[in-house]
Every structure is written in structure tokens, then in C-alpha cells.
Amino acid sequence: MLVRLLYASRTVPALNPEELHAILRRSQAENPAAGITGVLCYSDGIFLQVLEGGRSAVNRLYNRIVADPRHTDVELLRYEEIGERRFAGWSMGQVNMARLNPSLLLRYSATAALDPFSVSGEVSMALFEELVATASVMGQS
Ligand SMILES: Cc1cc2nc3c(=O)[nH]c(=O)nc-3n(C[C@H](O)[C@H](O)[C@H](O)COP(=O)(O)O)c2cc1C
């Protein structure tokens, strides 16, 4: 039973680039054994992450992530049972939003800023699909 989960959160003000790298390293090290794949976006104090995998594994990880003190306001945007993965190529891919073409963000929201708290989960998921389609996701699987 595969599921896909999408959430957004706000980073604590003190989050620095080393901590962001530590989160990605940890994710890329841990996720393969748990059968988790996904992508993490970071932009201006906001995280947007999609997690895919077995239902129990995704729920276990999500509960750990919610309790992580490096971010707050964790908001579940979407949760669905799926027949196949969309992000199978990444144990945890990353998107450098600073290097994105602003028009990509403008296509999905009122401004060229990432603001998953003010758009539907469907719109945020469409953005992720666009990021994959435009090869904007980095990181080994
Ligand atoms: C935004 C964000 C995304 C994270 N993504 C993952 C992930 O994909 N996989 C993972 O193992 N840990 C991830 N973590 C780290 C977990 O929250 C947690 O620190 C880690 O799993 C270790 O948990 P433990 O100390 O309870 O064993 C993430 C943390 C944050 C803040």
C-alpha cells in the first residue's frame, strides 16, 4: 500500500545552510532503508516536502518530522493512496528555489514567492510535478 504525503512548514529563524544540508544528508541516508522517496523544497523560511512510500513508513517518518524542532507550523496539505510513485528517482531530492525561473512560480500563485500556506494542496503538487518535468530537482537517488 503506497501513499503520498505533502506538507508545508516554517523554519525556525536560526536555520542555517549547514542545518539544511544536515537534514538532506540524514534523509538521503535513512530513506532508502525505509523505502521512502520524495523531494524537499526550501525557500525563504518555508519548507515544502513530498514523501512517498509504504503507508506505515510514511506515517512514522511524518510523525518524526512534525516533532522536529528545526521547523514549526507543520501543515498537512495532501495525503493520498497511490498506485505508483512520481518521485521514485530521489531518496530525497532537493530544489534550489533561488535558481528557479520566477515564471514557474508565477504560473501557480499570485506572486513569484513560494507560499504553500495560501494555495491548495493540488496547486503545490502541480508545482512539484513541474519541478520534476523541468529537471529542477537535484540529488542522488
Ligand atoms: C523539513 C524536514 C524534512 C525532513 N525530512 C526527513 C526525511 O525525509 N527523512 C528522514 O529520515 N528525516 C527527515 N528529517 C529529519 C527528521 O525530522 C528527524 O530528525 C530524523 O528522522 C531523526 O529522527 P530521530 O532523531 O527521532 O531518530 C527532516 C527534518 C526536517 C526539519
HEC sequence for 59-78: HHHHHHHHCCCCEEEEEEEE
Extract the residue ranges of the chain whose pLDDT is less than 70: 140-141
Looking up cell 530544489 gives 95
Q: State residue 111's pLDDT score.
A: 86
Residue owning the nearest CA to atom 21 of ligand 1: 64
What CA–CA distance (Å, rounded) separates 95 from 97? 6
Q: What is the pLDDT of residue 72?
A: 97
CA of 65 to the centre of ligand 1 (A): 5
pLDDT of residue 134: 84
Query: Burial letters for 38-69: b for 16+ Cβ neighbours within 10 Å, e otherwise?
Result: bbbbbbeebbbbbbbbeeebbeebbeebeeee
pLDDT at 76: 98
Output the pLDDT for position 105. 86
**Grid cell 514557474 — which residue?**
104
> In testing the pocket of ligand 1, which one of 27, 31, 43 has its CB within 8 Å of the most ligand atoms?
27
Helix axis angle for 55-66 and 17-34, nearest 10°, is: 160
Q: What was the pLDDT predicted at 19?
A: 93
Return the pLDDT at 140.
Answer: 59
Q: Which atom of ligand 1 is nearest to the CA of 47?
A: 1
Q: Is the Cβ–Cβ distance between 78 and 24 less than 8 Å?
A: no
Residue 135's pLDDT is 79
Give this prediction's pTM.
0.94
User: Tens digits of per-residue pLDDT, 70-103?
Assistant: 999 999 999 999 999 999 999 999 997 877 888 8
